[in-house]
């Protein structure tokens, strides 16, 4: 995947050669450098971008607000919004449609970018967020597991249980009993 | 101790590159600023001079001896300093008094010398440097046009836009929309 990085403070040919040399030394395949912009042919993740930002500030440049990072944080915000306190999830919601509508990008590019930057797939991230919500509902509400599966968009109880077990090692009901027990113990401790 | 005058230095990378080159040639720079270098050595041998001149030209610089050429370079350095490396150009900023105070020459003399040698008027040079800064800020996509106008001491967005169109042939928003940094930005030392 090719990336374009916008850089502040570049004003002359010396800036171009300092940038070219520096970014190449960091191990990237630099395709083109112009005043204010570097195009690289290598992969780039969040840590790489941090490293580049550090090199830039050392040399008196600055990373311009980065649209890759901006997109990733917008994606996270939208997903968090859906699973927020007043759950906006409805069974017809499709994350792919939501994200591509709101960010005006096609879903495949969003997903590819997210994976490159974050090191986990977008699907994986959404599942993690979904399961966090399941845990919260399990412990703090009286909803049954079937209801929770429906509310959080798992479709079926079966599906929820399987993914829950895969990610936490527990079955949902076991998780609930452990947590309830823990709350009880904590409550008793507070009473002593 | 000797002073060298160098053409085309426009930013801190130029300072860095010039310093590195002097040290690489075994010289001892005491102070390097835009356009002016002080070295510990009292004078350079012909061989040293030739080597230095060749290296500087390779980097896009040029050593200047001529008094008038030096003065013109100082004018350019000052203009670049005020427009590109200061926080803000004040609306009431008066170029003629600032330049004549800093360089200890009548403004008329500076202005006549400049246009005679450079082929554009000093006023026009200042305008082009400002427009170049406007382009840079436009592509960063952080300030809107009225903030940019304010940053560069234009009395209104309309004034900025008219001047921008005259110099570049495009309106600011046309250029911003093109997202074509490669075609549109120029090194500061090539502005004439």
Q: How far apart are CA A117 and CA A42, in angstroms?
A: 13
Sign of CA dihedral A6, A12, A13, A18: negative
By mean pLDDT, which of A137-151, B50-64, B121-135, B150-164 is the weakest? Answer: A137-151
Q: Is the pLDDT of residue B39 over 90?
A: yes
d(CA A93, CA A84): 15
What is the enclosing helix (H) or strand (E) of A71?
Answer: helix A67-82
For the cut 80, the answer to whether the pLDDT of residue A179 exceeds it is no
Confidence at residue A136, expressed as pLDDT on a 0 to 100 scale: 87
Does B60 sit within 8 Å of A14, measured CB to CB?
yes
Look at A13 and B60 and tell me if their CB atoms are within 8 Å. Answer: yes
Answer yes or no: do B16 and A59 touch at CB < 8 A. yes
Number of other residues whose CB lies within 10 A of the CB of residue A73: 11
Give the distance from residue B110's alpha carbon to the nearest chain A alpha carbon, in angstroms.
Answer: 25
Nearest to B14 among A12, A36, A64 (CB): A12
Residues of chain B contacting A, Cβ within 8 Å: 8, 10-14, 16-17, 59-60, 84, 136, 139-142, 181-182, 185-189
Report yes or no: B74 and B103 within 8 Å, Cβ to Cβ: yes
Minimal Cα–Cα distance from A27 to chain B, Å? 21
Distance from CA of B99 to the nearest CA of A (A): 22
**Cβ within 8 Å, pair B16-A18:** yes
| Residue owning tokens 């050392």 | A58
- Mean pLDDT (chain B) is 91
Nearest by CB to B185, which of A36, A64, A65? A36
Burial A138-171 (b: 16+ CB within 10 A, else e): beeeeeebeebbbbbbbeebeebbebbeeeeeee
pLDDT single digits (tens) B66-77: 888 999 999 999
Per DSSP bridges, beta strands A62-63 and A3-8 are antiparallel
* 8 Å CB contact of A60 and B139: no
Å between B130 CA and nearest CA of chain A: 13
Note the pLDDT of residue A89. Answer: 64
Beta strands across the sheet bearing A62-63: A30-34, A37-40, A3-8, A62-63
Which of A105-114, A174-183, B48-57, B93-102 bottoms out in mean pLDDT, i.e. has the lowest? Answer: A174-183
| pTM greater than 0.80 (yes/no) | no
Q: How high is the pLDDT of residue A191?
A: 65
Cβ contact (<8 Å) for A36 and B14? Answer: no
Q: Which residue of A has its CA nearest to B191?
A: A12
Instruction: Determine contact, residues B175/B168, Cβ cutoff 8 Å.
Output: yes
Nearest to B7 by CA among B83, B60, B46: B60
**What pLDDT is attached to residue A21?**
95
Residue B137 has pLDDT above 70, yes or no: yes
ipTM: 0.80
Burial tier of A35 (Cβ tally within 10 Å: 0-12, 13-18, 19+): buried
The residue whose two tokens read 């967020």 is A129
User: What is the pLDDT averaged over residues A126-133?
Assistant: 89
Which chain B residue has its CA at the smallest distance from A13's CA? Answer: B187
* pLDDT, tens only, A41-91: 988 888 888 899 999 999 989 888 777 888 898 999 999 888 886 666 666
Residue in A8, A13, A36 closest to B181 by CB: A36
Q: How confident is the model at residue B178 (pLDDT cuts 50, 70, 90)?
A: confident
Band of pLDDT at residue A154, cut at 50, 70 and 90: confident
Question: pLDDT tens digit string along A2-34?
Answer: 788 889 999 999 999 999 999 999 999 999 999
How confident is the model at residue A192, as a pLDDT? 60
H helix count then E strand count, chain A: 9, 4
> How high is the pLDDT of residue B150?
92
- Which of B35, B39, B48 lies closest to B5 in space, CA to CA? B35
Query: Which of the four pLDDT bands, split at 50, 70 and 90, describes residue B134?
Result: very high
Task: Say yes or no to pLDDT of A189 above 80.
Answer: no
The answer to whether A15 and A35 are in contact (CB under 8 A) is yes
**In the block, residue with structure tokens 């080159």:** B21
């Amino acid at each position: 995947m090719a990336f374009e990085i916008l850089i502040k403070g570049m004003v002359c040919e010396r800036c171009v050669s300092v940038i070219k040399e520096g970014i190449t030394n960091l191990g990237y395949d630099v395709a083109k450098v112009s005043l204010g912009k570097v195009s690289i042919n290598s992969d780039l993740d969040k840590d790489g971008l941090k490293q580049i930002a550090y090199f830039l500030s050392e040399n008196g440049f600055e990373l311009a607000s980065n649209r890759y990072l901006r997109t990733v944080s917008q994606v996270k915000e939208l997903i968090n919004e859906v699973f927020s306190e007043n759950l906006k999830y409805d069974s017809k919601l499709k994350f792919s449609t939501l994200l591509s509508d709101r960010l005006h990008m096609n879903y495949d590019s969003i997903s590819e970018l997210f994976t490159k930057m974050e090191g986990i797939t977008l699907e994986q991230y959404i599942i993690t967020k979904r399961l966090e919500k399941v845990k919260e509902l399990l412990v703090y509400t009286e909803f049954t597991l079937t209801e929770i599966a429906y509310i959080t968009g798992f479709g079926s109880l079966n599906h929820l249980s399987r993914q829950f077990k895969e990610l936490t090692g527990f079955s949902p009901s076991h998780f609930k009993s452990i947590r309830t027990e823990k709350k009880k113990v904590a409550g008793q401790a507070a009473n002593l | 101790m000797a002073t060298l005058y160098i053409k085309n230095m426009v930013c801190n990378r130029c300072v860095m590159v010039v310093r590195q080159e002097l040290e690489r040639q075994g010289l001892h720079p005491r102070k390097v600023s835009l356009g002016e270098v002080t070295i510990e050595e009292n004078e350079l041998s012909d061989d040293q001079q030739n080597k230095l001149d060749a290296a500087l030209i390779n980097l896009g610089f040029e050593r200047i001896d001529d008094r008038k050429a030096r003065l013109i370079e100082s004018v350019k350095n000052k203009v670049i300093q005020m427009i590109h490396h200061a926080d803000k150009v004040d609306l009431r900023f008066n170029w003629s008094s600032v330049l004549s105070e800093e360089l200890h020459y009548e403004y008329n003399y500076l202005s006549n010398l400049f246009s005679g040698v450079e082929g554009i008027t000093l006023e026009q040079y200042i305008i082009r440097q400002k427009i170049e800064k406007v382009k840079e800020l436009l592509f960063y996509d952080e300030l809107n046009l009225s903030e940019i106008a304010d940053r560069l001491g234009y009395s209104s967005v309309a004034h900025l836009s008219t001047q921008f169109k005259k110099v570049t042939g495009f309106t600011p928003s046309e250029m911003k929309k093109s997202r074509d940094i490669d075609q549109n930005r120029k090194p500061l030392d090539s502005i004439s």
